[in-house]
Amino acid sequence: MEFDLSKLSGIRRSSDAVGQRLMTEEERYVEAELPAVQEAKDTMTDCILSGDELRFTRILLYGGDLQGFLSEKHLMASVLAEAVNEQLYDEFADTVIEFDGNTPILVEDYLDDLKGMIPS
């Protein structure tokens, strides 16, 4: 059996058209609002930091169960901190997360800037 991949775009368009016809008015409204809501939530850091890096930094900024998050994701704080520091280096020209023993700590000088970039 052979598939004609050149027809995929037409099939996708047809599928989208059928999906639009099947949507309720409320679903159309919600779908229309999603991009605006997402744009409001997006920050420069959402593009730079991965999901885990962003969540890690949010926990450090606003509190939360850091050990639970690390255990759930099977991650090491030191590895995440290094990744965040690397990703944000161009913005801050410095590290934003330091370690006090085994505990990651945000550099106090950058707290306000980070909070401005990363909503709670």
Quote the strand ranges of the chain, DSSP E: 97-100, 103-106
pLDDT single digits (tens) 68-115: 999 999 999 999 999 999 999 999 999 999 988 789 999 999 999 999
The answer to whether residue 112 sits within a structural domain is yes
Which pLDDT does position 33 carry in this prediction? 55
The answer to whether residue 28 sits within a structural domain is yes
| Residues spanned by the domain of 31 | 7-41
Helix 66-73 and helix 77-92, axial crossing angle in degrees, nearest 10 = 110
The answer to whether residue 62 sits within a structural domain is yes
The answer to whether residue 1 sits within a structural domain is no
**Domain with 82 in it: what CATH number?**
1.10.10
Q: How confident is the model at residue 53 (pLDDT cuts 50, 70, 90)?
A: very high
Q: Which residue has the higher pLDDT, 57 or 1?
A: 57
pLDDT single digits (tens) 7-50: 666 666 777 777 767 767 666 655 555 554 444 444 455 568 88
- Whether the full predicted model's pTM is greater than 0.85, yes or no, is no
Please state the domain count of the chain. 2
Cα torsion at 88, 48, 35, 22 (round to 10°)?
Answer: -150
Q: Note whether 108 and 60 are within 8 A (CB).
A: no
List 106's β-bridge partners, or say none: 97
